[in-house]
């Protein structure tokens, strides 16, 4: 049996009164047996003798019968005190101070002295003193000085012994309490260890399951390249998709020497760095990685089109989503690059543009023919049309012109996407072009209840460019501004000259555009949510065409808008013809 089990059987509280009374009962029983022997002591005082027997019996019955737990353990001292009185009477009945059974006094004395509390020491000593003094006080025989000395000296010794017993019992209780507390603590620790072990085994099983799931997902990602790097760009993660896209296995790449920029087209990195800082004239290889993670270091995910370079020299057009790589404390420890091969998507876009261009070209001829015949019908003097017929003919003409314009826009965007479209470069008076656009849109603005204002300087502003295309871009902006401005609003077209460029700004007090959508406005067929909510007609090509025209002229397009307040779009056109041929030319577009 273990020590813990033994300790569990030992009660820190006092044993039951009956258990403590058993030694006293046994002592009296042994004394009575001795009294029956042939050489037994004589009973000197039968009443005292009988009283002692009765008192010890009463004390034993009380110890066994009373519910001490409900009464209170402090009252159990009644039993040893009563037993001590019984010993005194038994001693008087068997010879008084000469009785051989005086030693029985030790049994209840030890019980009282071992109880918790210093007061019990005095109770035990006082009880012994009364028991030893009683024979001297009740005896009619002469008492010697030695007997009196013994009657007073012995209780003092018993007092000392009671103090020692009480202290030993107190310390034993403390040690038992400490031992039991330690055993309980060990048991609690053991239980915690067992639970922790079970939880650890369960977590290990879950971790293995999660690892298998992650590994399965990781191995299944074969159409996207996932590459992880440290903060300096050294590659330490390489998934099967990267193996398929770039033609190198993870064993070949994860050797601590391959850098992320090794798989990028250097010219693109340099161009990106120059865009980040226009002052850069040369770019060092140490800075190349910043082109990939500059936005991510600022706390944003970055999605861009790049070109991966395989070891065999083949170029792979990709769209890369760069995100921070965080540890368990949320600190950035590297970067993750998820790339999607855009080869098929770009080929599909090219075919789509070719299809749109082909269809647009094929539609222009029959539309032109329709418009021509409509004009002949309207101008036929031999068989003039009625007023109602002319009204119907006007509706048909307007819709045919609208359709022809849409076809022209589609054809133009197809030319833009193909990378080339024609520009007829001349000297352009911007105030004249602006006036023409405003005059064209004024009837539409008047019908919509919108005020159209032109603010141009008195001195003419002349730039090199294609007047038709620039006029087309201004027409698009003014048309959009009028469409998106409710009745009672104002559209302002202004022109100002800066040291190196002319700025044409179209400002309206219309419905505005959500800030999160501003970056998508120049995307083909994109329409702002405010336009769709308000059912404003359009196909989403105007700004795409405008941006292409401005970019072809070496300028830029700036857009500022606030939903519910209005929109301001500025065309920045260079005053000098540094990048333009002063003749009809095909300008290569890179957007």
Buried b (16+ CB within 10 A) or exposed e, 394-413: eeebeebeeebeebbbbbbb
Location of structure tokens 């799931």: 213
Q: Does domain 350-417 have CATH number 1.10.287?
A: yes
**304: its two tokens:** 């861009």
> Is the distance from CB of 282 to CB of 260 less than 8 angstroms?
no
- Alpha-carbon span 59 to 53, nearest angstrom: 10
Looking at the DSSP bridge assignments, the partners of residue 568 are 507, 560
- Sign, CA dihedral 136-139-140-142, equals negative
Q: If we measure between CA atoms, which residue out of 533, 489, 524 comes closest to residue 508?
A: 489
> Is the distance from CB of 235 to CB of 227 less than 8 angstroms?
yes
Domain boundaries along the sequence of the chain:
3-188, 224-341, 350-417, 422-588
Counted residue by residue, the chain has a size of: 591
As assigned by CATH, the class of the 422-588 domain is alpha beta
- Alpha-carbon span 205 to 210, nearest angstrom: 9
Q: If we measure between CA atoms, which residue out of 377, 379, 370, 376 comes closest to residue 398?
A: 370
> Is the distance from CB of 485 to CB of 536 less than 8 angstroms?
no
As assigned by CATH, the class of the 224-341 domain is alpha beta
Taking residue 19's Cβ as centre, other Cβ atoms within 10 Å add up to: 11
Helices (H) and strands (E) in the chain, counts: 18, 14
Find the distance separating the first CA and the last CA of the chain, reported in whole Å. 87
pTM recorded for the entire structure: 0.42
Helix (H) or strand (E) holding 369: helix 343-378
Residues 36-55: tens digit of each pLDDT:
777 666 677 788 778 878 88
- Alpha-carbon span 430 to 500, nearest angstrom: 15
Range 328-334, long-range pairs (CB < 8 A, 24+ positions): 332/231, 333/230, 333/231, 334/228, 334/229, 334/230, 334/231, 334/236
Looking at the DSSP bridge assignments, the partners of residue 324 are 335
Give residue 308's pLDDT.
Answer: 92
Contacts of 94 (CB under 8 A, 6+ apart): 31, 35, 41, 43, 44, 49, 100, 101
> Is the distance from CB of 4 to CB of 10 less than 8 angstroms?
no
Q: How many whole angstroms from its chain centre is CA 510? A: 40
Same fold, 224-341 and 350-417: no
Residue 37 phi/psi, 5-degree rounding, is: -70, 160
Give residue 42's pLDDT.
Answer: 67
- Alpha-carbon span 571 to 315, nearest angstrom: 35
The DSSP line for 463-475 is EEE-HHHHHHHHH
Taking residue 244's Cβ as centre, other Cβ atoms within 10 Å add up to: 14
Q: Dihedral, CA atoms, 356, 358, 363, 368, nearest 10 degrees?
A: 120
Residue ranges of the chain whose pLDDT lies below 70: 1-14, 39-42, 73, 97, 133-151, 277-287, 349-365, 406-422, 516-542, 577-591
Alpha-carbon distance values, 379 to 308, 385, 398 (Å): 62, 9, 16
The DSSP line for 24-66 is HHHHHHHHHHHHTSTTPPP-S-HHHHHHHHHHHHHHHHHHHHS
Helix (H) or strand (E) holding 250: helix 250-253
- Alpha-carbon span 559 to 571, nearest angstrom: 9
Looking at the DSSP bridge assignments, the partners of residue 322 are 302, 337
């Amino acid at each position: 049996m273990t020590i813990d089990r033994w300790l569990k059987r030992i009660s820190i509280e006092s044993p039951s009164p009956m258990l403590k009374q058993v030694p006293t009962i046994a002592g009296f029983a042994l004394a009575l047996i001795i009294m029956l022997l042939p050489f037994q002591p004589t009973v000197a005082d039968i009443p005292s003798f009988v009283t002692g027997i009765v008192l010890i019996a009463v004390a034993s019955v009380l110890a066994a019968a009373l519910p001490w737990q409900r009464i209170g353990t402090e009252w159990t001292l009644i039993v040893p005190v009563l037993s001590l009185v019984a010993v005194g009477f038994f001693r008087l009945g068997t010879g008084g101070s000469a009785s051989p059974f005086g030693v029985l006094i030790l049994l209840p004395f030890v019980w009282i002295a071992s109880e918790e509390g210093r007061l019990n020491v005095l109770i035990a000593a006082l009880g012994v003193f009364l028991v030893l003094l009683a024979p001297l006080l009740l005896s009619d025989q002469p008492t010697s000085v030695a007997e009196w000395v013994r009657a007073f000296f012995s209780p003092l010794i018993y007092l000392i012994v009671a103090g020692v017993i009480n202290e030993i019992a107190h310390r034993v209780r403390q040690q038992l309490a400490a031992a039991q507390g330690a055993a309980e603590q060990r048991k609690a620790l053991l239980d915690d260890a067992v639970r922790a072990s079970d939880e650890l085994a369960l977590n290990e099983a879950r971790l293995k399951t999660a690892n298998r799931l992650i590994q399965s997902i990781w191995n299944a990602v074969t159409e996207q390249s996932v590459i992880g790097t440290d903060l300096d760009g050294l590659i330490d993660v390489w998934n099967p998709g990267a193996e398929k896209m770039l033609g190198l296995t993870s064993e070949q790449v994860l050797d601590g020497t391959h850098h992320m920029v090794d798989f990028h087209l250097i010219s693109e990195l340099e161009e990106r760095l120059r865009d980040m800082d226009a002052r850069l004239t040369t770019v060092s290889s140490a800075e190349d990685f910043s082109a990939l993670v500059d936005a991510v270091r600022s706390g944003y995910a970055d999605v861009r089109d790049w070109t991966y370079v395989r070891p065999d020299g083949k170029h792979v057009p990709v769209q890369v989503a760069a995100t921070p790589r965080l540890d368990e404390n949320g600190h950035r420890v590297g970067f993750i690059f998820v790339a999607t091969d855009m080869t098929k998507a770009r080929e599909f876009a090219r075919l789509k543009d070719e299809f749109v261009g082909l269809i647009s070209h094929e539609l222009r001829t029959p539309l032109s023919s329709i418009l021509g015949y409509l004009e002949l019908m309207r101008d036929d003097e031999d068989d003039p049309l009625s007023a109602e017929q002319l009204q119907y003919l006007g509706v048909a003409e307007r819709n045919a012109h609208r359709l022809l314009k849409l076809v022209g826009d589609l054809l133009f965007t197809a030319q833009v996407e193909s990378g080339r479209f024609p520009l007829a470069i001349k000297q352009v008076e911007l105030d004249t072009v602006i006036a023409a656009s405003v005059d064209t849109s004024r009837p539409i603005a008047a019908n919509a209840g919108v005020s159209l204002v032109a603010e141009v300087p008195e001195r003419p502003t002349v730039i090199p460019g294609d007047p038709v295309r620039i006029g087309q871009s201004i027409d698009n902006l003014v048309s959009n501004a009028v469409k998106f401005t409710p009745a009672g609003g104002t559209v302002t077209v202004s022109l100002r000259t800066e040291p190196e460029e002319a700025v044409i700004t179209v400002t309206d007090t219309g419905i505005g555009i959500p800030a999160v959508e501003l970056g998508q406005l120049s995307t083909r067929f994109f329409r702002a949510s405010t336009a769709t909510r308000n059912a404003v007609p359009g196909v989403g090509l105007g700004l795409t065409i405008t941006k292409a025209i401005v970019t072809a002229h070496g300028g830029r397009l700036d857009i500022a808008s606030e939903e519910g307040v209005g929109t301001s779009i500025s065309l920045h056109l260079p005053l000098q013809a540094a990048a333009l041929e002063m003749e009809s030319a095909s300008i290569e577009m890179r957007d």
